[in-house]
Amino acid sequence: MRFASFVFGLLLCSAAIASATAAAPPALIPLPAQLERGEGSLRVDAGMPVVVEPGDAGARATADYFADLVQRTRGLALPVREAAASGPSIRLQRDPHAPVTQAEGYTLDIDAQGVRIRARDQAGLFYGAVTLWQLLTPDAQRGAVNLPALHIRDWPRFAWRGLMLDSARHFQSVDEVEQLLEQMARHKLNVFHWHLTDDQGWRIEIKRYPELTRIGAWRTPPGAGQDGEPARYGGYYTQEQIRQVVAYAAARHITIVPELDMPGHAQAAIASYPWLGVTGKTPSVSVDWGVNPWLYNVDDASFDFVDHVLDEVMALFPSPYIHVGGDEAIKDQWQASPAVQAKLHALGLKDEDALQGWFIGRVGDYLKAHGRRLIGWDEILEGQVPADATVMSWRGTQGAVEAARKGHDVVLSPSPELYLDGLQSDRADETSGRLPAHDLASYYAFEPVPKGLSADQARHVLGAQANAWTEHMPSYRHVEHAVFPRLAALAEATWSPAATHDWRSFLARLPAQLARYRTAGVDYADSAFAVDIHVDANTALASGTARVSLSNQAGYGQLHYTVDGTPPDLHAPRYRQPFALKLPATVRAAAFADDGSPLAAPRERVLNAAQLRSRLGGELVNCPGSDFRLRVQPSPDASALATAYDINVFDTCQRYLQASLDQVTSVHVEAVRLPRNYALAHDAKLVVSRPAATPFGELVVHRDRCDGPVLASLPLPDPARSPARFDLDGPLAAQHGVHDLCLIYTAPIDGPLYAIGRIALRPQGATP
Ligand code: ACM
């Protein structure tokens, strides 16, 4: 049944919504399925009781959770009672006849008499309480709240509303994992996919196989003990801790789906027990990001191991689904192993992909015999995948289409659409991650049901999931930066009806969500709103006056700026059009929501001749021929947030576009040396080697094209005798006019990588 008078989903499609403030939806994320405003309002102040039915332990738990959350985030003490109270109250009722019939659904009614939340199941009651909590936190204030009269009927669009955390590449403490689970609950997300094993670490205690965590949980980083790098990196979760985390999640109606990746991504396991592999060799736990070659053996001993590990995993995780990975298992080791080849032929299989299918099928049988279901990455479709396996589609959405057509359930978690390791902007001040940037608007635009499915096939889409791969997230601050606020966009994609999707509406509701993050101490990314301060550098250099324009990625909010060194607040001039500024000058700018709350921290740009003749590494572009680009911290496992540098592991060649070379006589480069810790598998042959003229290579500056005239050649220092960050200085052949520069490091490709922190072009007598 739909509300006859007013359904937000319809209204939101109208372009007029921005000015329709009277009817603007409350700042709820995800937006409820149906919402209708009533007459009047209700003031919720400290002391208003939260009432549950006597003896309903689930409702009591939700009421306690809700009251605690409101106390902590709004400062209102709401007593929980198991008996009717006189006067206005907040009633939480689990009721088999509640009007919303969908699983996890609820109704929430607010009038002058109080709040009433009704649901048929405990999850629905919990989500009703989360919605009420959001209504009580429309801003970062504390104290009483006036709620408008409302009638909400709400239920999720999808049953799988997921977030994957990779705890193998970098390890998060139990407290950090719980912080993430708590935020998931506040977004009505309900599946936490926990990536617990990989080449770089085994993170779950298995009692029967203690070496997995004694050896497999630890690695020795490149440059161990130097430059902020730990001597040893790692960690693991004890079974006791895992039980605690599972219970913490369950209390928030979140299922934890553990992942044990196999048959590839097995290097840490094989480092612990070499007989699990096929080569007879003992690798160390990997420190290389990418695709490593180590595969599990396919003999009985391997399957005994997997079965025993699964026994302990199933005892810890009540999830109906167990994730067995299946991704990126390059087959070189199986191809080279006579024993594996003999097995393949004895089984009558045609190739190694079929062998992987057989492997996954065996594991699936074991799970099935124990009442569990197998889920795996979409590569499991390449072999004979069990008919009831669920497929997680990550290589785009084609795997999901194929799987659903074959009758498999599917979860959408495509790269790059739902991957969180992609940077959210190409701003030079972004932390580490993959490029090109994947902005909030495109994240929000994701539609979980791929095109090309019939209605019947579309029913196999269980939902969608965001994936936080942590190669370049060494600390939890990095994780938070990557996850928030994109998690809010995912919440809406997986919960709210498709017809309600509206980017401008989402933006209007986001400031309240950002305020909730600030209250909770969540270090979210403000990349969508950070102010970009644009000038045409060469015009400014030539004329002594900069024409400044301001914008932000989302095109949203009020931009305020100063040019007098003071911090830009709401009293500072509001930006309306480009303005002229005599050099030298410093522009500071920040973005604010309509209610005056901050959208982005202030950004600053110094405008003087030296700055206008320089570029940060993040402002350079790749040379033609290779579009791979990654931003990394020089110490891969250093847990502090540090300056990150753009690299291209295939070709250390960058371009400085449109450099003004008049009067320039020298070049200064802030350079950095980084470990080349990348496992490129079959792509290793694509790495470009450039001939070096001096023992450790040099940075060569070419004019116009990468094979153009050489303007400068700056020899690199001996890596063994110089710090990781060093300056390069040298003369630059005199030129006139504006030219592109091509900057090539010629260091040998079996040694470290080099990147550019900043490059400055200097006229005679200029100071740094
Ligand atoms: C994956 O990103 N390797 C599933």
Whose alpha carbon is nearest atom 3 of ligand 1?
327
Q: Is 444 in the pocket of ligand 1 (CB under 6 A)?
A: no
Given 121, 166, 198, 526, the catalytic residue? 198
Q: Is the separation of the CB atoms in 24 and 508 below 8 Å?
A: yes
Number of the ligand 1 atom closest to the C-alpha atom of 394: 4
Say how many Å lie between the CA of residue 394 and the centre of ligand 1.
6
CATH of the domain at 90: 3.30.379.10
CA of 374 to the centre of ligand 1 (A): 17
26-62 pLDDT, tens digit per residue, is 999 999 999 999 999 999 999 999 999 999 999 999 9
Does the bond joining 691 to the residue before it have cis omega, within 30 degrees of 0?
no
Cis peptide before 318 (omega within 30 of 0): no
Q: Which residue among 165, 197, 328 is best mutated to probe the pocket of ligand 1, counting the most ligand atoms within 8 A of its Cβ? A: 328
Among 490, 515, 540, residue at a domain's last position: 515
Which residue carries 């019947």 as its tokens?
456
Expressed in angstroms and rounded, the spacing between residue 687 Cα and the centre of ligand 1 is 22
273 and 304 belong to one structural domain: yes
Q: Which of 170, 187, 195, 265 is catalytic?
A: 265
Atom of ligand 1 nearest to the CA of 415: 2
Q: Is residue 342 located within the same domain as residue 461? A: yes
Q: How does 485-503 read in b/e, with b if 16+ C-beta sit within 10 Å?
A: bbbbbbbbbbbbbeebbbe
Q: Which of 393, 394, 419 to mutate to test the pocket of ligand 1 (most atoms within 8 A of CB)?
A: 394
Q: How far is the CA of 399 from the centre of ligand 1 (A)?
A: 13
Is residue 392 assigned to a domain?
Answer: yes
Q: Report CA torsion sign: 552, 555, 556, 561.
A: positive
Q: Does one domain contain both 220 and 298?
A: yes
By the 8 A CB rule, do 195 and 259 touch?
Answer: yes
CA-based nearest residue to 188, from 108, 114, 269, 259:
108
Q: What is the Å distance from ligand 1's center to 198 Cα? A: 11
Residue 401's CATH number: 3.20.20.80
Centre of ligand 1 from the C-alpha of residue 525, in Å = 23
Is 312 catalytic? The answer is no
57 vs 59: CA distance, rounded Å: 6
Q: Is 328 in the pocket of ligand 1 (CB under 6 A)?
A: yes
The residues, any chain, with a CB within 8 Å of residue 575's CB and separated by 6 or more, are 550, 559, 560, 561, 589
Domain shared by 43 and 81, yes or no = yes
CA dihedral 5, 6, 9, 14 (to 10 degrees): 110
Dihedrals phi, psi of 94, to nearest 5 degrees: -90, 125
CB-based contact 340:334 (threshold 8 Å): yes
Ligand 1 neighbour 327 (Cβ under 6 A): yes
Q: Is residue 21 part of a domain?
A: no
Q: Give me the domain span that covers residue 502.
A: 160-515
Does residue 285 contact residue 268 with C-beta atoms inside 8 Å? yes
Q: What angle do CA 160, 310, 279 make, to 5 degrees?
A: 115
Rounded to 5 degrees, what are φ and ψ at 734?
A: -60, 135
Q: Which residue has a Cα nearest atom 2 of ligand 1?
A: 394
Mutate to test the pocket of ligand 1, among 194, 324, 375, 377 (most ligand atoms within 8 A of CB): 377
Statement to judge: residues 53 and 198 lie in one domain? no
CATH of the domain at 691: 2.60.120.260
Last residue of a domain, one of 608, 640, 657: 608
- Domain endpoint, select from 154, 177, 201: 154
Closest to 609 in 3D by CA, of 589, 585, 587: 585
In a 13 Å sphere around the CA of 97, the CA atoms on its Cβ side amount to 0
Between the CA of 327 and the centroid of ligand 1 the distance, in Å, is: 6
Ligand 1 within 6 A of CB of 421: no
Same domain, 559 and 486: no
Antiparallel, parallel or unpaired: β 89-94 and 50-52 = parallel
Would you list the DSSP string of 8-73?
A: HHHHHTSGGGGG-GGGPPPS-SSPPSEEEEEEEEEEE-TT--EEE-TT-HHHHHHHHHHHHHHHHH
Asked whether residue 724 is assigned to any structural domain, the reply reads yes
Strand order in the sheet with 80-81: 34-44, 145-154, 106-111, 114-119, 89-94, 50-52, 80-81
For 176-233, the DSSP string reads HHHHHHHHHHHTT--EEEEE-EETTEE-B--TT-THHHHTTTEE--TTTTSTT--SSE
Q: Residue 18: which residues within 8 A CB-CB, separation 6 or more? A: 504, 508
- Residue 419 Cβ inside 6 Å of ligand 1? The answer reads no
Helices 503-520 and 57-74 cross at an angle (nearest 10°) of 80
Does residue 728 lie within any of the structural domains?
yes
Centre of ligand 1 from the C-alpha of residue 415, in Å: 8
Determine the atom of ligand 1 nearest the C-alpha atom of 419.
Answer: 2
475 domain-assigned:
yes
The ligand 1 atom nearest the CA atom of 325: 4
Tokens of 391: 């497929």
Whose Cα sits closest to atom 1 in ligand 1?
A: 327
Shared-domain flag, residues 134 and 169: no
Residues 187 and 318 in one domain: yes
Q: Is the CB of 166 under 6 A from ligand 1?
A: no
Contacts of 40 (CB under 8 A, 6+ apart): 111, 112, 149
643, 728: one domain: yes
How far from the centroid of its chain's Cα atoms is residue 660's Cα? Answer: 38
Two tokens at 77?
Answer: 């003490």
Does the beta carbon of 377 lie inside 6 Å of ligand 1? yes
**pLDDT at residue number 23:** 55
Q: Cα of 317 to ligand 1 centre, how many Å?
A: 22
Q: Answer whether 359 contacts ligand 1 (Cβ < 6 A).
A: no
Quick one: pLDDT at residue 729? 97
The residue ranges of DSSP E strands in 461-539, in sequence order, are: 461-468, 531-534
Q: Examine residue 581 and state whether it is found in any structural domain, yes or no.
A: yes
Candidates 432, 754, 429, 745; CA nearest to 616 is: 429
Q: 265 an active-site residue?
A: yes
Q: Quick one: CA dihedral 259, 264, 265, 269, positive or negative?
A: positive
Query: Which of 164, 261, 397, 415 should be mutated for ligand 1, with most atoms under 8 A from CB?
Result: 415
Both 84 and 166 in a single domain?
no
- Å from CA of 82 to ligand 1 middle: 48
Q: Retrieve residue 570's tokens.
A: 């709401």
Residues 543 and 640 in one domain: no
Distance 291 CA to ligand 1 centre (A): 10
| Cα-to-centroid distance, 684 and ligand 1 (Å) | 19
**Which residues of the chain are under the pLDDT cut of 50?**
1-22
**pTM, 2 dp:** 0.95
**Dist CA 658 CA 455 (whole Å):** 52
Task: Decide: 109 and 151 in contact? Cβ < 8 Å.
Answer: yes
- 259, 194 Cβ separation under 8 angstroms: yes
224 φψ region: left (φ > 0), alpha (ψ -120 to 50), beta (else):
beta
22 found inside a domain:
no
The CA 193 to ligand 1 mean position distance, Å, reads 13
Q: How many helices and strands, by DSSP H and E, does the chain display? A: 19, 39
Looking up residue 554, the CATH number of its domain turns out to be 2.60.40
Active-site pick, 95, 328, 353, 662: 328
The Cα 699–Cα 713 span in angstroms is 6
392 CA: nearest ligand 1 atom: 4
* Residue 394 CB–ligand 1 contact under 6 Å: yes
* CA quadruple 524, 527, 529, 535: dihedral, nearest 10: 150
Three-class SS state of 580: strand
Q: Shortest CA distance to 73 belongs to which of 387, 522, 491?
A: 522
Cβ–ligand 1 contact at 289 (below 6 Å):
no
Cα 458 to Cα 157: distance, rounded to the nearest angstrom: 12
Q: Could you give the number of structural domains in the chain?
A: 4
Q: Which atom of ligand 1 is nearest to the CA of 413?
A: 4
450 in helix, strand or coil? coil
Distance of CA 738 to the CA centre of its chain: 39
Instruction: Pick from 259, 379, 469 the residue to mutate for probing ligand 1's pocket: most ligand atoms within 8 Å of its CB.
Output: 469
Question: Distances from the Cα of 233 to the Cαs of 175, 445, 748, in angstroms?
Answer: 18, 38, 28
Is 497 within 8 Å of 102 (Cβ atoms)? no
Which amino acid makes up residue 448?
A: P
- Residues 85 and 172 placed together within one structural domain of the fold: no
Q: How many CA atoms lie within 13 A of 751 on its CB side?
A: 17
**How many angstroms separate the CA atoms of 606 and 585, rounded?**
6
For the CA of 265, the closest atom of ligand 1 is 3
198 is catalytic: yes
For position 19, what pLDDT does the model report? 32
Is residue 295 domain-resident?
A: yes
